[in-house]
Amino acid sequence: MTRRNAAIIGVGSYLPERVLSNADLERMVETNDEWIVSRTGIRERRMGDESMATSDLAARAAERAIRSAGLSPSDIDLLVVGTSSPDHALFPSTACLVQAKLGLGCAAFDVNAACTGFVYALQVGASAIESLRAETVLVIGADMLTRHVDFKDRSTCILFGDGAGAVVLRAAVEPGVESIVLGSDGTGADLLKVPAGGTAAPCTVERINERQQYVQMQGNDVFKFAVRVIPKATVQALTASGHSVEDLAWLIPHQANQRILNTVEERLGIDHDRVFSNVEKVGNTSAASIPLALDDLYTSGRLQPGDLVALVGFGAGLTWGAAVVRWTMTGPEQGGLPE
């Protein structure tokens, strides 16, 4: 029996207009552009204004992805949103808000795997198609971590930005998502976390005074975890689909830090110009990072049909995931470039 595949037939992204530069951060905490650029490669990131929530960014990215697929919202029969910064702490899910904003007539739910959220959501979407439970799935990665970082903590507030990216997956005979490997290790949960606000430690005045409602991170340990897990997951996903690093047209790692990307590049022995990076302009956009990068690459005309691409994420949890995808979309000029 012919295997049914899930192919990416649409891609889109959205960044809020407001730019938060390193110079802006210099006015908020004791830091400087030179330190931030040399340690992270980040020069600026985007920040949603107060009227915006994660579902607004997600809906705009999704509209563009649906349009680039040449479809309409009524064609979508499942929506999965990867996010760890939902509009509401408990419910409704961000996916339900996006479903209403776009007028989709389908089931919708969130997946929380922090910065790995998009790869996890992709696994859910691709599996639904491969198991014949869906034909067309909208997969979004969206986060607004600027709402959750402490703008008094210079070691974290310089890293994160807001954004959203989306893909449309559709059942296909030709290859699409060829393999996905996912992993988790909760013994590393303390390395990157928001201590207060959940059932373990509800937000109290004391905890808020201790600033426990904000992201806390042990940067060095997260760095070591990232440079260990990205090459390993990439090779595992390539092996699972019968490929090797040499076959890759592009490696698209989660955009957390340029030094992490450089180390991964060395460890994998892959050319610098095949490792995509836009971290300089957007910072770490968490679950949005990979689909934002994919859209950036596609709309700049650097992805060709037939290209093999690895999408590799890592983040809090700890979580990680890698997907190997055969690109099938023709150039943006033929495929309908999103406005």
Which residues are near ligand COA by CB under 6 A? 31, 35-36, 39-40, 115, 154-155, 158, 217, 219-220, 222-223, 226, 256-257, 284, 315
The C-alpha atoms of residue 118 and residue 60 are separated, in whole angstroms, by 16
**CA 31 – CA 25 distance, rounded (Å):** 7
Which residue of the set 5, 157, 243, 254 is catalytic? 254
Residue 254: CB minimum distance to ligand COA, A: 6
Neighbours of 21 (CB within 10 A): 14
d(CA 70, CA 338): 10
CB 332 within 8 A of CB 294: no
Active site residue 284: yes
Min dist. Cβ of residue 25 to ligand COA (A): 8
Q: Closer CB to ligand COA, residue 79 or residue 144?
A: 144
Active-site pick, 112, 115, 157, 257: 115
Whether 115 sits among the annotated catalytic residues: the reply is yes
User: What is the C-alpha to C-alpha distance for residues 251 and 301, in angstroms, rounded to an integer?
Assistant: 16
Please tell me the distance from the alpha carbon of residue 61 to that of residue 303, in angstroms, as a whole number.
19
Report the residue closest to ligand COA, judged by CB: 219
What single-letter amino acid sits at 262?
A: N
Task: Work out how close the CB of 24 gets to ligand COA at its nearest, in angstroms, rounded to a whole number.
Answer: 13
Sheet holding 319-326, edge to edge: 177-184, 319-326, 308-315, 250-253
| Residue with smaller CB distance to ligand COA, 235 or 287 | 287
- CB of residue 35 vs ligand COA: minimum separation in angstroms? 4
Please indicate whether residue 254 is annotated as part of the active site: yes
Q: Which is nearer to ligand COA, 30 or 333 (CB)?
A: 30
What residues act catalytically? 115, 254, 284
